[in-house]
Amino acid sequence: MVLHRALFALDAERAHGVGLKLLNLLPSRPANASPRLETALAGMNLPHPIGLAAGFDKNATAVRGFAGLGFAYVEVGTVTPRPQVGNPRPRLFRLETDAAIINRLGFNNDGVATVGKRLRALGSRPVPLGINIGMNKDSREALPDYLTGMNALSSLADYITLNVSSPNTPGLRALQQVDRLRDLLRPVLERRAELARDLARRLPVFLKIAPDLSIDEALAIAELARDLGIDALMISNTTIDRPATLSSPARVETGGLSGKPLMQPSTALLREVRRGIGKSLPLIGIGGIFKAEDVLAKILAGATAVQLYSGLVYEGPGLVRRLVRDLDRLLDERSIGRLAEAIGADA
């Protein structure tokens, strides 16, 4: 708790950097998950459904540290073909009274060559690893950048996520228009099939969408993703919406909002997509998870697994183990034999 308070005394981005450096120094204490929490996701057998969302470890500098916090799987990135510095600082803001974060980082990262070298040096992956890829800000076309990311990083990943929903790269969210998305996904998935022969395994590809889509837009994307062979739809990225309930001074900052205010809208969109798409496409619930009740709400709404980011900032490094323990207790209280039985029960 003392360290947690000390980090909050620093500005948000500096604290984030210090926290990442300290993470690998913490004792490794994997979560002790009950067998009833076992989760199957795109060929990955996970001890529980809780993963780290992309954005926390953009450059894959703390994969072992996050595994040691008890995450069942870890997603790094977003990684772009070429290194880029991102947007000018300040660009990361804590909304402490709202338990939220606003970021306009702009895909700041070391690029595929450096991140790939770092992951190769890591050796065996301590937990299943996802790599989130995107396009450089100054790229004229999106497809070559996503293919570059696939080519450079697929051998190092258990799955690849296509980020077409960050609000901080101009024009990126326009890729969610169904016609443009089809033109992106088809060649990416064709390349995935070619890579599978070299890898001697099938590489799952996930797609991450924004919470600001209408239900019809999200359903159209989900149907396209299912029909083309995307392995999971991630709902959702950060929002550009600003709920009237926000009270922190930083609420006026531009960028993507995450944290507790995202729990309700992202879960509502998740539920509507599950209702519309049925069980034909796995969904991953992201946004606003701070307690086990939030995890279960995402599962009941239709998620197979979940990811978190902001909750870890506010609740500290013991959060995942608490979530796993309390989620098991919730299942017991509700007489749910296995977590998998709860998927979509409220959709």
2-57, pLDDT tens digit by residue? 566 667 777 888 888 888 888 888 777 777 889 999 999 999 999 999 999 999 99
pLDDT at 231 over 80: yes
What is the model's pLDDT at position 6?
A: 67
What is the model's pLDDT at position 8?
A: 78
Residues with catalytic annotation?
166
| Structural contact between residues 81 and 138, judged by C-beta atoms closer than 8 angstroms | no
Q: What percent of the chain has pLDDT over 70?
A: 98
Rounded to whole angstroms, the Cα distance separating 194 from 150 reads 11
pLDDT digits (tens, 9 = 90+) for 89-107: 999 999 999 999 999 999 9
What is the model's pLDDT at position 28?
A: 73
| Structural contact between residues 224 and 185, judged by C-beta atoms closer than 8 angstroms | yes
pLDDT at 339 over 80: yes
pLDDT at 62 over 80: yes
pLDDT at 145 over 60: yes
pLDDT digits (tens, 9 = 90+) for 263-282: 999 999 999 999 999 999 99
Q: What residues are designated binding site for substrate?
A: 58, 103-107, 163, 168, 237-238
Average pLDDT over residues 222-250: 96
Average pLDDT over residues 318-330: 96
| pTM of structure | 0.96
Q: What residues are designated binding site?
A: 54-58, 78, 103-107, 132, 163, 168, 208, 236-238, 259, 288, 309-310
Fold exhibited by the domain 2-342: TIM Barrel (3.20.20)
Average pLDDT over residues 187-191: 97
Average pLDDT over residues 152-157: 97
Domain range annotation of the chain: 2-342
What is the model's pLDDT at position 4?
A: 65
**Helical packing angle, 292-301 and 319-333, nearest 10°:** 60
pLDDT at 320 over 70: yes
State in Å, rounded, how far the first CA of the chain is from the last one: 38
* Residues comprising the chain, all counted: 347
pLDDT at 1 over 60: no
Average pLDDT over residues 171-179: 87
What is the model's pLDDT at position 172?
A: 81
Average pLDDT over the chain, rounded to whole? 94
What is the model's pLDDT at position 30?
A: 74
Rounded to whole angstroms, the Cα distance separating 76 from 115 reads 10
What is the model's pLDDT at position 25?
A: 80
**Any idea which of 153-157, 175-179, 287-291 has the lowest mean pLDDT?**
175-179
